[in-house]
Structure 1
Amino acid sequence: MSTQEKKPLPFFYQFIAGAVAGISEILVMYPLDVVKTRVQLQVSSAGAGPEYTGMVDCIQKIVKNEGFSRLYRGITAPILMEAPKRATKFAANDEWGKVYRNLFGVTKMDQSLSVLTGATAGATESFVVVPFELVKIRIQDKNNGGKYKGITDTVYKIAKEEGVLALYNGLEATLWRHILWNAGYFGVIFKVREVIPKAETPSGQTTNDLIAGSIGGTAGTILNTPADVVKSRIQNTVRVEGVVPKYNWAWPSIYTVMKEEGFGALYKGFVPKVLRLGPGGGILLVVFTAVMDFFRSMEE
């Protein structure tokens, strides 16, 4: 990350910059997340076609049948999650970078270290986001429309009916999702920054960050979509005592989906997901870098 080449700032600044970047991205791109989740939760069955045939069809049906506001249903959880999530993402990436540079006795990052650092930061981030992700998934599912009234009600009912630990259902799948995405995101950002012409103006740097972040977000999405599909299904499964859920662990669930629905089902919701996290990754990097540079100018 560029923050490793500039004056380091305290964690508090990382937290604020990550929060601003994350909330900016979520407000612009969130409807695509709702669409992605709806498509991922569809399970194909013999004799019955899917309710949503694609991204545009899903958006049209949600707006027509449920109202435009439904595209922002469940946004409270991710907004509350964005500050700790994005702060953890960037701050952990920065701190793990220091750890690995010291461990391997090097002074500068290379692409291999960027991938390793991103993967470790993703694992760290996972522990923060799991409860928020689970609540968001439950609220976004159309079948739960009358069951959960909001974020507080959802947390209460999950804890009461399934136990407090149920809020961490899907942790293992979330770990894989974030490890793969962050490894791809930060690894590709490092490489893109290495090969594109260096910017000579602030606007040029913004353009470079937007390009690097968008390509990194796209690469991360290609890598982690299968894990994201099964994570959505694992977290949307209500646990019943004595019953082994169909979707329980990430890799067996990936095998189940591929066996029953074909390999393509592992990329359900890919179009809205990549449309969100490709440009979204660019927005994250641009806003985070701009806010950190603003804080540096204040300090100086």
Structure 2
Amino acid sequence: MGLKGFAEGGIASIVAGCSTHPLDLIKVRMQLQGEPVRAPAPSPALQPSLAFNSGRAAAFPAAVPAPPRPGPISVGIGIVRAEGAAALFSGVSATVLRQTLYSTTRMGLYDVLKQKWTDPDSNKMPLGRKIAAGLVAGGIGAAVGNPADVAMVRMQADGRLPAAQRRNYRGVGDAIMSMTRQEGVASLWRGSSLTVNRAMIVTASQLATYDQVKEAILGNDLMADGLGTHVTASFAAGFVAAVASNPVDVIKTRVMNMKVEPGAVPPYAGALDCALKTVRAEGPMSLYKGFIPTISRQGPFTVVLFVTLEQVRKILKDF
């Protein structure tokens, strides 16, 4: 029974992850807006002229207003124009691996805990236990899937870098091997505390909200146990998860994507440092960058996830 929960959750998660991948990519690009792209160090031969020019720049400062930040549709169109339509699926191999590791683990564990913690008399699970089950399942799933998460973020963000600075990973396997060779095994768990925190928040809010809303709809005879109920509960779960997780998601994206040059000071000392620098430079609402594509992705993702999950459960009910 427990293993079947892992299989059902894994299949549904992979379908949902692949079908909403372009929205996730747009979300990542928007979360990186406003973050400076580090230029490569100038060659020694250019140092004198740069020093001279920097002196002139200091003497005659030019106030350049910040350009308006594009919305998700503009970002998507820009990606297609600059990198081609296939770029919208950059990192999809990492998405498949991430869903296989992270979501299969969290969905399966939640199902196991749900069976163990459901009150046998009422056949219901109190909301507090649902949240606790989501926190536990999400945290363990995120720890397992972090290497694929780092690879996915980097592959999705690569196109925004100048051509000379791109990592150009050929796939998720190449990304993980390259990170291990160049930055050490520990780089595969960069931002893992953020990934775990985000996953705990997402899993607890998403799965607990879905179950709670579904029970309320069925318990009050508002709708039958069918597609309408599943879609309604899914949208509610997606919205709650997006609101709760977006700030952590922004910081996670930036920490995972940062490029650490040998011998150079990392852009961020950690999650808290990244959060403080982001808020100081871009304001508190910067923690909700990419919220529109987040909710635009989280809504469809959650709907596809749970609708697929319910169908897979019907197919596998006799196994």
Distance 1:144 1:73 in 2: 16
1:258 to 279, 284, 292: 279
Aligned counterpart for 1:249 among listed residues 264, 267, 270: 270
> Which one of 167, 170, 173 corresponds to residue 150 of structure 1?
170
Pairing 1:18-97 to 2, within 5 Å after superposition: 18-43=9-34, 47=64, 49=66, 52-97=69-114
Aligned-residue sequence identity (percent) comes to 26
Q: Is the 8 A contact 2:18 2:95 kept in 1?
A: no
* Conserved? CA contact 2:6–2:109, under 8 Å: no
1:5 aligned residue = none
2:251 aligned partner: 230
CA contact (8 A) 1:138 1:144 kept: no
Q: Give the one of 190, 195, 213 matched to 2:216.
A: 195
Alignment of 1:134 onto 2:125: no
Deviates more, 1:182-191 or 1:126-135: 182-191
The 10-residue stretch of structure 1 (145-154 or 278-287) with the greater mean CA deviation from structure 2: 145-154
**Which SS does the other structure have where 2:226 is aligned?**
helix
Distance 1:79 1:61 in 2: 25
The DSSP-based 3-state class of the residue aligned with 1:196 is helix
User: Quick check: 1:21–1:283 contact (8 Å CA) kept in 2?
Assistant: yes
Q: Report the equivalent of 1:218.
A: 239
Q: Who is 1:276 aligned against?
A: 297
Rounded to whole Å, the distance in 2 between the matches of 1:287 and 1:199 is 24
Residue segments in structure 1 that go unaligned for 5+ positions in a row = 1-8
Q: Give the conservation status (yes or no) of the 8 Å contact 1:121–1:182.
A: yes
Measured in 1, the distance between the counterparts of 2:117 and 2:226 equals 27
* Inter-partner Cα distance in structure 1 for 2:209 and 2:79: 35
Scaled by the length of structure 2, the TM-score of the pair is 0.81
Contact kept? 1:120, 1:179, Cα under 8 Å: yes
Number of equivalenced pairs: 286
Q: Quickly say closer, same or farther: Cα 1:50–1:294, change in 2 above 3 A.
A: farther
Which amino acid is the alignment partner of residue 158 of structure 1? M
1:287 aligns with 2:308: yes
**Is the Cα contact below 8 Å between 1:114 and 1:183 reproduced in 2?**
yes
| Aligned residues of 1:139 and 1:150 also touching (Cα < 8 A) | no
Amino acid of the residue matched to residue 186 of structure 1?
Answer: L
Change (3 A) 1:278 1:74: same
TM-score (norm 1): 0.86
**Structure 2: distance between partners of 1:149 and 1:122:** 28
Q: Does the CA contact (< 8 Å) of 1:21 and 1:86 recur in 2?
A: no
Larger Rg: 2
CA deviation string 1:71-120 (max 9, x = no partner): 01110111122223222121111223355569xx9974111111111111
CA deviation string 1:30-52 (max 9, x = no partner): 10011011111122678463585
Q: CA deviation at 1:184?
A: 1.0
* CA distance in 2: counterparts of 1:57 and 1:250, whole angstroms: 29
> Cα distance 1:263–1:23, how it changes in 2: closer, same or farther (>3 A)?
same
